[in-house]
């Protein structure tokens, strides 16, 4: 992949998926957005050592994957870049919290390892939902939904502009990188002092471009407001979608479904 | 129609670091005129254009657009009158789709949605890009970007069009298309360019800037024939007026 940078390819794929058509694409973006927000809030609200209790929530990404016709590989590949950060956050738990919490088959598991697993599960759930949301809605539509839900305008305008110019920035970074590669005698890593001035260059260019864009916007009467087109309408199926998932998510939080299921099975066998 | 006039009177400008950029610039451009501003790199073309839209404020001297001087207090009025097409179309196309980008100006003018819709449709039709309306700008080719950037300005129905290097970086066909557009407009046009054949095609009048001064101001044909003047300003006659050296040699042999 020398012609286009990896990042651009990633964003391109998102756009292509978002332009597709599926039952999930047809749902009003606000319904999807609110569902994801609720799910993320619930995921964050579980106690530290919950692992199995969260399992029912995996119905969400699984169903969306199928409904939205998104390839599983796409979601997994998008998850990878965030994984190191999560591991970095979670890895201290097993080191700090060494008190054994559960014993299974003679092996004692410390509370730290359990909470480590819990964090990983939360990451998997939350990130995969966010990825599916963008893949089945499109970034710009999502921003327009945010506006309709009365998110602060300044914030949404920033997101829109970020998405518009990330391509140019990536392109510019790639050109600088290529220019370096061509004259550095085949060295792969950028030497630290050079990296410093390269980043400085990039920053100056970005600032210059930012200024020119602002001038172009002022020239056309910009007053702090991007007029965004809203292309969606709320149907009854959107209410059903939101309600259905909300009930499932809250039920999964209120009742430990795997536990109850286990108890039920044991009772039935006895 | 006095509001289509551009008048620059004794304009001086220095960059913030003290480098002198423009010196005693003086000219008047009348309604419906097409004027090329040419000059070598760093002659001050872009700096001059920035004064016409109020992006820069003169150190001394006056710029008047129509009936109103370009001042911080009149910027809204000036920007309604003057439409500026930037050199890099990417700077100008900042909205998620072509439609929204072209609609940006009219929407900011407070037009009702059906009128905005009509403005967008008209502007895109004028530049021949109606089929691109739902595409994101970053997926367009260089020529398409340029045409759409022109449409974003046309949609605001300015009286005066100001363009910075409209044909830079375009392939032959896109350049032809762009020149065709410029020729068709009835607006007052001010074009800064290195493309002297474009200047010859579109503009009846040429202003040469050299080291921040107006070196010549007159009919395009006459100026492009003055080879001594062009040489002094680090310019060459348009390719079309240079004759064919190869043909000349063959004729002599």
In tens, the pLDDT along B9-26 reads 999 999 888 888 999 999
Q: What is the pLDDT of residues B162-191, one digit of tens each?
A: 999 999 888 999 899 999 999 999 889 999
**Do A173 and A52 share a domain, yes or no?**
no
Phi-psi label, residue B43: left if phi above 0, alpha if psi -120 to 50, beta otherwise = alpha
Domain containing A49 equals 6-151+235-269
- Parallel, antiparallel, or unpaired for β B34-38 and B188-192? parallel
Predicted confidence at residue A3, as pLDDT, reads: 42
Rounded to the nearest angstrom, the minimum Cα separation between A215 and chain B is 7
Q: Any bridge partners for residue B9, and if so which?
A: B62
Q: Is the pLDDT of residue B253 over 50?
A: no
**Do A97 and A184 share a domain, yes or no?**
no
Task: Answer whether B86 touches A (CB < 8 Å).
Answer: yes
Phi, psi of B37 (to 5 degrees): -105, 115
The answer to the question of residue A157 being in a domain is no
Predicted confidence at residue A10, as pLDDT, reads: 59
**Do A104 and A40 share a domain, yes or no?**
yes
Q: Any bridge partners for residue B162, and if so which?
A: B84, B190
| CA-only gyration radius of chain A, Å | 23
Q: Please report how many Cα atoms fall inside a 13 Å half-sphere around the Cα of residue A196, on the Cβ side.
A: 2
**Do A174 and A56 share a domain, yes or no?**
no
Q: Are B95 and A164 within 8 A, CB to CB?
A: yes
Fold of B2-88+158-252: Rossmann fold (3.40.50)
The answer to the question of residue A102 being in a domain is yes
Q: Which of B91, B93, B149, B152 to mutate to test the interface with A (most CBs of A within 10 A)?
A: B91
Q: Are B79 and A221 within 8 A, CB to CB?
A: yes
Query: B158, B83 in Cβ contact below 8 A?
Result: yes
**Do A69 and A183 share a domain, yes or no?**
no
Identify the CA nearest to A64 among candidates A252, A241, A240, A255.
A241
- For residue A12, what is the nearest residue in chain B, using CA coordinates? B139
Confidence band of A39 (pLDDT split at 50, 70, 90): very high
Instruction: Return the percentage of chain B with pLDDT > 70, whole number.
Output: 95
The answer to the question of residue A57 being in a domain is yes
Give me the number of domains chain A comprises: 2
How far is CA B112 from its chain centroid? 29
Domain boundaries, chain B: 2-88+158-252
State the average pLDDT for chain A: 85
Name every chain B residue with its beta carbon within 8 A of the beta carbon of A209. Answer: 90-91
CB atoms within 10 A of CB A157: 17
**Do A260 and A132 share a domain, yes or no?**
yes
Name every chain B residue with its beta carbon within 8 A of the beta carbon of A223. Answer: 108
**Do A94 and A200 share a domain, yes or no?**
no
Rounded to the nearest angstrom, the minimum Cα separation between B139 and chain A is 10
Q: Which of B98, B108, B150 to mutate to test the interface with A (most CBs of A within 10 A)?
A: B108
The answer to the question of residue A24 being in a domain is yes
Name every chain A residue with its beta carbon within 8 A of the beta carbon of B88. Answer: 212
**Do A32 and A128 share a domain, yes or no?**
yes
**Hey, which of A7-16, A92-101, A224-233 has the most confident mean pLDDT?**
A92-101
Q: What is the pLDDT of residues A40-73, one digit of tens each?
A: 999 999 988 888 888 899 999 999 999 999 999 9
**Do A115 and A245 share a domain, yes or no?**
yes
**Do A126 and A21 share a domain, yes or no?**
yes
Q: Are A168 and B90 within 8 A, CB to CB?
A: yes
Residue with tokens 């809203």: A230
Rounded to the nearest angstrom, the minimum Cα separation between A155 and chain B is 15
Predicted-complex ipTM score: 0.70
Q: Please report how many Cα atoms fall inside a 13 Å half-sphere around the Cα of residue B50, on the Cβ side.
A: 19
The answer to the question of residue A156 being in a domain is no
Cα gap B148→A70, rounded to integer Å: 33
Task: Answer whether A239 touches B (CB < 8 Å).
Answer: no
Rounded to the nearest angstrom, the minimum Cα separation between A156 and chain B is 12
Q: What share of chain A is helix, strand, coil (3-state, %, to 5)?
A: 75, 5, 25
Chain A and chain B share a number of CB contacts under 8 A equal to 75
Predicted confidence at residue B193, as pLDDT, reads: 92
Residue A35 CB contacts under 8 Å (≥ 6 apart), including other chains = A60, A241, A242, A245, A246, A249
The answer to the question of residue A97 being in a domain is yes
Tokens in use for A216?
């172009």
Q: What is the pLDDT of residues A203-245, one digit of tens each?
A: 888 888 888 888 888 888 888 777 777 778 899 999 999 999 9
- For residue A163, what is the nearest residue in chain B, using CA coordinates? B96
**Do A13 and A100 share a domain, yes or no?**
yes
**Do A92 and A213 share a domain, yes or no?**
no
| DSSP classification of residue B253 | -
Q: Which helix (H) or strand (E) holds B208?
A: strand B205-210
Residue with tokens 């609609």: B103
CB atoms within 10 A of CB B168: 15
Predicted confidence at residue B251, as pLDDT, reads: 46
């Amino acid at each position: 992949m020398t012609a286009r940078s990896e990042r651009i390819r990633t964003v391109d794929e998102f756009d292509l998926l978002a332009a597709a058509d599926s039952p999930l694409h047809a749902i009003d973006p606000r319904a999807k957005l609110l569902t994801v927000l609720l799910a993320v809030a619930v995921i964050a609200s579980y106690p530290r050592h919950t692992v199995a209790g969260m399992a029912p929530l995996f119905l969400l990404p699984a169903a969306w994957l199928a409904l939205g016709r998104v390839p599983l590989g796409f979601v997994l590949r998008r998850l990878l870049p965030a994984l190191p950060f999560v591991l970095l956050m979670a890895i201290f738990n097993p080191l700090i919290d060494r008190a054994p919490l559960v014993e299974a088959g003679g092996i004692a598991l410390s509370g730290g390892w359990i909470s480590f697993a819990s964090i990983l599960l939360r990451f998997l759930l939350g990130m995969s939902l966010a990825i599916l949301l963008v893949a089945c809605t499109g970034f710009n539509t999502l921003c327009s939904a945010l506006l309709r839900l009365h998110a602060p305008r300044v914030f949404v305008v920033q997101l829109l502009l970020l998405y518009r110019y990330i391509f140019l920035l990536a392109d510019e970074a790639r050109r600088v990188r290529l220019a370096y590669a061509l004259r550095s005698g085949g060295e792969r890593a950028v030497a630290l002092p050079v990296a410093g001035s390269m980043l400085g260059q990039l920053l100056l260019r970005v600032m210059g471009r930012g200024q020119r864009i602002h001038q172009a916007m002022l020239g056309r009467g910009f007053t702090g407001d991007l007029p965004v087109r809203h292309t969606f309408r709320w149907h009854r199926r959107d209410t059903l979608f939101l309600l259905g998932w909300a009930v499932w998510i809250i039920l999964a939080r209120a009742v430990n479904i795997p536990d109850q299921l286990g108890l039920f099975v044991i009772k039935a066998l006895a | 129609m006095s509001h289509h006039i551009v008048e620059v009177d004794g304009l001086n400008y220095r960059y913030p670091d003290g480098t002198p950029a423009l010196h005693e610039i003086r000219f008047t451009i009348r309604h419906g005129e097409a004027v090329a501003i040419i000059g070598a790199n760093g002659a001050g073309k872009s700096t001059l254009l920035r004064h016409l839209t109020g992006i820069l404020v003169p150190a001394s001297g006056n710029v008047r657009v129509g009936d109103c001087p370009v001042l911080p207090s009149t910027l809204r009025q000036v920007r309604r009158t003057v439409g500026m097409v930037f050199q890099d179309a990417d700077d100008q196309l900042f909205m998620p789709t072509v439609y929204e980008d072209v609609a940006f100006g009219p929407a900011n003018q407070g037009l009702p949605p059906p009128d905005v819709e009509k403005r967008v449709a008209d502007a895109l039709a004028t530049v021949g890009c109606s089929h691109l309306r739902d595409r994101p700008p970053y997926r367009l080719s260089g020529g398409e970007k340029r045409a759409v950037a022109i449409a974003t300005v046309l949609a605001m129905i300015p009286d005066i069009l100001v363009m910075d290097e409209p044909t830079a970086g375009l392939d032959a066909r896109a350049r032809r298309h762009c020149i065709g557009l410029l020729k068709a407009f009835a607006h007052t046009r001010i074009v800064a360019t290195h493309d002297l054949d474009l200047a010859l095609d579109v503009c009846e009048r040429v202003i040469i800037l050299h080291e921040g001064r107006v070196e010549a101001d007159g009919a395009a044909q006459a100026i492009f024939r003055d080879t001594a003047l062009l040489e002094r300003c680090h310019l060459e006659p348009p390719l079309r007026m240079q004759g064919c050296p190869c043909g000349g040699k063959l004729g002599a042999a």
